Structure formats: C-alpha cells, structure tokens
Amino acid sequence: MVVIPPLKSVYPMKFTEFGLNEMLLEAIGYMNFEKATEIQEKAIPIIMQGKDLIGCAQTGTGKTAAFVLPTLHQIAEEDHDGIHTLILVPTRELAIQIDQQIQGLAYFTNAECTAVYGGGDGVSWEQERRALSQGADVIIATPGRLISHLNNGYVKFETVRHLILDEADRMLDIGFYDDIIKIIGYLPKKRQSLMFSATMAPKIRKLAQQILQQPEEINIAVSKPAEGVTQMVYMAHEEQKTPLIKHLLKDKDNFKSIIIFCSTRRKVEQLARNLKRANYNARGISSDYEQEEREAVLLNFKSRKTRILVATDVLSRGIDIKDINLVINYDVPGDAEDYVHRIGRTARAETKGMAITFVNSDDMYKFHRIEKLIERELEKLAPPTELGEGPQWQTPSPKGRNRKGRKPGFKKKRNFKGPRKSSGGTDTKTKS
C-alpha cells in the first residue's frame, strides 16, 4: 500500500515527495524535472489513491504529466496482464505528444506504450492491431481510429484498469461524444476514470456524470491566459494584416520561435507562401497535410529549423512545443476559449511570451467576448501610418451581432409605419 503524503498549502512540491516508483524518479531526474506544477501537486496524490478525478486546467500547466506520472507508477507497482490504461485524445498530434512523453518518463521501466491514430499506412495499422489484441501497457488513441479497430472484433479491453480522457472539451467539440460512449461500453465497469479539460462547460459535467464515480474535482486557472503573456491588439483591415505582420517581424528578431494562427486552411497556405517569398523562414501546417508531412513540419519547428509556423487551430491545444516567443492571431478565433488556448502556446511553464491579435471590423464582437472571458480590456493599437488607417474600435452593444448578421455596435432603425390594428379592429400603438 502506497502512503500518500498530505497536500501542502503552498506548492511546489518536489517529485520525490509523492512516493513515486524509484525507476520513475530516476527518469524524472534524468529529464531535469524537480518540482511539480500546481495541477500535478493536486492531481497526483488523488490519482495514486485510486479515486476518479475531473481536472480543469489551462494549456501549459503540466496536466499531461499530472496523469502520466501516477499511471506509470501504477504500472510499475501493480501486477497485470494485457492493456492496463486507455487514454483517449482528440487529435493525432496530441496522441503522438503523449506517446513521446510516456516513452521518456518510462525509459527506466518496462512499460510499453502504443499510439493509435488515423493517417498512417498498413504497417502502422498492423502495429496498432497487435498492441490492441496482444496488450501494450498503455494505449493512447483518437476515438475514430479506435472505433475502426473495435469494429473488427479483436480488441481486448477486459484488463483495462484506468481510463483517461484528455482534452475532453475538444473531443466533444469535434463530435466524438457517441464514439466515447461506445468505447466505454467495451471497458470493465470496475476501473479508475480520469477526465481532463481546459473548460468546465455543462456538457463536460454531463459527460463526467456518465463515466466518473464520485470524482474529486480540481480547477486550476480556468479560462485565463498565463501571467507571463504580454497581450497586444492591432485594429487592422483584412488587406493590412499581411503587411502588418512583416512590419512587426522586422522588430522581432529576438523572437526565434513564432506561431501565426489563421482561421482557414486556405489562409494558412496563402500567408505561408507570402512570408516565404519575403525571405522569412516560414512553413504552414493544417489538417490538409498528410500525417508524415505534419510530423516533419512540427519536428523542424521544434528543433528551430523553422522559425515561423502558420497554422489553423489544429495546434491551439495539446501540442507541447517549448520556448515559443510569439503568437500572432491573424484572425480572431470564433470561440473565446480558443483565444486562451492559442496564446497558451507561449509563456508556458512560467516563462515570458507575447501574443498579438489582429481585429478587423467584422471581428469586434468576437474580441469583445474574449475580453469578457479574460476579464480584461486590452488597448487597441493602430497600424503604422504607412499602412493607412485601421478600423475604429467600437464597443459592441450588449446583444452584439444578431442572427441576421448586423454588425456589432449598431442597432437597426425601425421604420415607424403608424399604429397597427389588432384582429379585433382596435387600434394599438407600436411599442418603441
């Protein structure tokens, strides 16, 4: 029986204080990890006690290690055959990232891990089939790919003791609810279940009620950007955005690693080509890319061979790329929560970073919602004079853009056509 140390009122705790397996501690030391983050300090003891947990923490707080470390500890300490832990994630990029993190932390243990995700060839399918039928210790899977294997009838989940849902809110946003429920139907009812999410929306609580048993709950800095992020806003017309990026990058030579987020795949390609023609070391990445190409682009960016990565929101969550200095929102994200995830790519693990957002006349209401979410009104800067005047910021009306698409800040004038007659023939005044 593992003795769990009491939680301290002030973090950080050292990893040596959790009672983790010695081989795991050796790997942690080899990777120069010494002190736990807040989510790790609060979650690890709960998970090691075998309790169900719902954890809410923003990007960059270390929540992946918060469930990976106690999971590997349990694998090292418990006798088991077959698949021990199933981790469900929304994207192949996150599956690959968690797989890599587990490989590093499990280096001195005998734990085996296999990532199951789409986009591969026949060889990767066969490797996944063997792991799912013969039993790797940890399976990390995207729901759609896992369902394809389950439909073939050879997946053996009878030995699963732990279920983990990472980025649960994103999985629901993508539309994986039915797949998740179907997958859980294949698992033993007696298990430990953990759910991690960046938001605590009602749909997340509903899912938690279905799959968790008397869970503990942890909330860490929900929906707020990291303290180390310097946030800037430029008012810019659409045609001013690319020239504005080139102007800003002239003064940002000290920023060695930059991500630019665009709203569409087409914009990603156009901007990446434009920047390359201007001799910037830039590459684009989106869901249009083949998996092998996406991995190569990410690897070059992580290793600093590529300075600027132009991306859709495929990179806004879950991807652990260290030391990103600057995030530029070429377009305001449609979901206010996505703003937090995008700029969460920088200033990770208590470092410093900068986030710049371009706001055009159509995006004022969306950015107003972001300011309400982060509980902060940001200064609106004008583009440099040589680029011309940008749009003027107008605080949107409380109702914002209505269903008919009227721009924020303006209310449509009603044409007064005189009194209306009721069906009974009595004149009634039109309400103003």
What average pLDDT does the segment 378-386 reach? 95
From 197, 220, 243, the end of a domain falls on 220
Most confident range, picked from 2-6, 323-327, 419-423: 323-327
pLDDT band at 429 (very low <50, low <70, confident <90, very high): very low
Predicted confidence (pLDDT) per residue in 349-369, tens digit: 556 789 999 999 999 999 998
Predicted confidence (pLDDT) per residue in 244-258, tens digit: 999 999 866 778 899
Do 198 and 241 fall into the same domain?
no
127 part of a folded domain = yes
Helix (H) or strand (E) holding 281: none
Do 328 and 244 fall into the same domain?
yes
pLDDT band at 265 (very low <50, low <70, confident <90, very high): confident
412 part of a folded domain = no
pLDDT at 227 over 90: no
From 188, 203, 220, the end of a domain falls on 220
pLDDT band at 46 (very low <50, low <70, confident <90, very high): very high
Q: What's the total number of domains in the chain?
A: 2
Q: How far apart are CA 124 and CA 120, in angstroms?
A: 6
What average pLDDT does the segment 229-238 reach? 94
Do 35 and 102 fall into the same domain?
yes
399 part of a folded domain = no
The SS3 call for residue 381 is strand
Give the model's pLDDT for residue 61.
75
Do 192 and 252 fall into the same domain?
no
Do 181 and 105 fall into the same domain?
yes
pLDDT at 377 over 70: yes
Q: How far apart are CA 176 and CA 169, in angstroms?
A: 10
Do 340 and 248 fall into the same domain?
yes
Amino acid at 149: H
Give the model's pLDDT for residue 432.
31
Helix (H) or strand (E) holding 359: strand 353-359
Strand pairing class (113-116; 138-141): parallel
3-state secondary structure 216-266: EEEEECCCCCCCCEEEEEEECCHHHHHHHHHHHHHCCCCCCCEEEECCCHH
Average pLDDT across the chain, whole number: 83
Do 59 and 151 fall into the same domain?
yes
424 part of a folded domain = no
For tokens 């377009």, the residue is 331
Higher pLDDT, 276 or 302: 276
291 part of a folded domain = yes
Give the model's pLDDT for residue 220.
80
pLDDT at 237 over 60: yes
pLDDT band at 342 (very low <50, low <70, confident <90, very high): confident
149 part of a folded domain = yes
Do 315 and 170 fall into the same domain?
no
From 189, 220, 251, the end of a domain falls on 220
DSSP letter for each residue of 309-353: EEE-GGGSSS-------EEEESS--SSHHHHHHHHTTSSGGG--E
| Structure-token pair, residue 270 | 């156009």
427 part of a folded domain = no
Q: How far apart are CA 301 and CA 367, in angstroms?
A: 29
Give the model's pLDDT for residue 45.
96
What average pLDDT does the segment 83-99 reach? 91
Dihedral angle sign, alpha carbons of residues 206, 185, 148, 94: positive
For tokens 């947990």, the residue is 53
Do 215 and 278 fall into the same domain?
no
Higher pLDDT, 58 or 160: 160
Do 181 and 242 fall into the same domain?
no
Do 98 and 21 fall into the same domain?
yes
**C-alpha pair distances (Å), 216 with each of 7, 50, 166, 195, 355:** 14, 11, 16, 10, 34
Residue 299 sits in a domain whose CATH number is 3.40.50.300
What average pLDDT does the segment 156-170 reach? 94
pLDDT band at 347 (very low <50, low <70, confident <90, very high): low
> CB of 92 within 8 A of CB of 291?
yes
Structural domain range at position 296: 229-387
pLDDT at 92 over 50: yes
431 part of a folded domain = no
What average pLDDT does the segment 3-26 reach? 73
Q: How far apart are CA 256 and CA 324, in angstroms?
A: 8
What average pLDDT does the segment 113-140 reach? 89
Helix (H) or strand (E) holding 149: helix 143-150
Give the model's pLDDT for residue 296.
87
Q: Over pLDDT 90: what percentage of the chain? A: 52
Do 293 and 355 fall into the same domain?
yes
